[in-house]
Amino acid sequence: MKRLVIAALLISTGIMWSCSGKKEDSAHDHEHNHKHSEDQITWKEMDDFHMAMAEAFHPYMEDSTNLEPAKTSATSLAELAAKWSSSTLPEKANTSSMKSKLDKLSQDAATFSETVKAGDDKAIGDQLTKLHDLFHEIQEEWYGGGEHHHHH
């Protein structure tokens, strides 16, 4: 009985593959989205920090007593922020306001990792929130090209 199910699965995925697994399709899509992706260049350091921030902040956002992931991520957040603020900025982000935000992010992330070591949960939560908000400002400046989009 099981064998039949597996066979059916293989057949259906095989069919899907033949429809959507064509190389030309993805190349075509890429060109189609090219206009969009041009002004949304990825910024690797931002993406790296974003991943770490999401891991730290989301559990806390859902449950404000859950600071374990943030504590675990604190060191890497500090390292990523430091690396990010000292990296070569893409032309579009090479502005004094962006630089000062990145400097602040790097300082705040360092402070945050110290606070985590000290183990004061209230302070950790407050600083995590500030760090997250500052990160969002940086993201908005990057994606919005300096305009402020408020999405609450």
pLDDT tens column, 45-97: 999 999 999 999 999 999 999 999 999 999 999 999 999 999 999 998 999 99
What does residue 54 show for φ and ψ, rounded to 5 degrees?
A: -60, -45
The residue extents of the domains of the chain are 44-144
Cite the DSSP H helix spans in 33-95.
Answer: 34-38, 44-62, 68-86
pTM of the predicted model, to two decimals? Answer: 0.69
